[in-house]
Amino acid sequence: MQLLASLFLPTYPDSPGPKVASNAVAVARQLGATLDAAVINVDIPDVSNALSGFLFDLPAKIREVETASRNRGKALLETVAAEAARCNVTLTRQELKAQPALMGEAAAREGRYFDLCLVGWSASNEAARMTIEEVVFSSGRPTLILPGGRDVGALDHVVIAWDGSRVAARAVADARPYLERASAISIVTVTDEKALPRQDIGDRLAHGLEARGFRAKAASIRAGKSEIGIALQEHAVKIGGNLLVMGGWGHSRLRDFVLGGATEGILSDLRLPVLMSH
């Protein structure tokens, strides 16, 4: 079955760097997936009245901001198209628009029509973080969070963050396309962050994967004073992992997210590609 992946590119107030284009195309190529690149341009409601027009010229400022957003979006689509053509990846393109506070919601709604959502991460890009949060928790699809400043390379050593929870199990199921292509699979359980269902949950998952034809090794670590998300990433990097698979824990109330420690640690300081499911 042909995998369909969608790359979401918010363009307001800032847009992701060009590296997200090459990384997304590289992932689509590894998975043999068709890639849809969707820019999300800003659509600011008309708040004009006689006073705002006279004092601040708000309608003109709004048009200026929206034009800049669309121009960034067109430039991003051209970059993705050029990279896809170079790598022989089938590409479709679309332009979405949404109000500033609803750009992530627009991405999550569109993401439901695809098998995989891709979003670029940047520490200083609030639009990217907002989009990631909404897509992870509201799209119903696995989300691959891509570093914005470096090449992802081959995603052939998969590290699974395992705590025996529902969201972790969902993440493992969603990671199957990566597991099928992996040369190494490592399972890691953090033992000092919360109560676990039993002591051998990592080994149980390894045995289950082995019964499905995958070879996996299980290990346990302690987070100590580190945030669990940071500890997981540090362990993954230390053992040569290049893709971290984990469940996203959290819930939304309107637009306020209460995130679990692992999720927050990932979104605050991304160190390698992370496939997150909820």
Interatomic CA distance for residues 278 and 267, integer angstroms:
14
Determine the residue type at 95: E
- pLDDT band at residue 195 under the 50/70/90 scheme: confident
This prediction has a pTM of 0.90
Token pair belonging to 94: 């679309």
Mean pLDDT for the stretch of residues 168-197: 94
How high is the mean pLDDT of the chain? 90
Q: Give the model's pLDDT for residue 268.
A: 76
- Tens digit of each residue's pLDDT (9 = 90 or more) over 237-256: 999 999 999 998 654 433 33
- C-beta of residue 190 within 8 angstroms of C-beta of residue 159: no
For the packed helices 103-111 and 126-138, what is the interaxial angle rounded to 10 degrees? 40
Query: Is the pLDDT assigned to residue 257 strictly greater than 50?
Result: no
Predicted pLDDT at 155: 97
What mean pLDDT is predicted for residues 168-185? 97
**CA atoms of 123 and 112, how far apart (whole Å):** 26
Domains, the chain: 4-147 (3.40.50.620), 157-273 (3.40.50.620)
* pLDDT digit string, tens, across residues 42-91: 999 876 655 555 556 777 888 899 999 999 999 999 999 999 999 999 99
Tokens of 155: 């995603």
pLDDT tens string 215-230: 999 999 998 888 888 9
Percent of the chain predicted with pLDDT > 70: 90
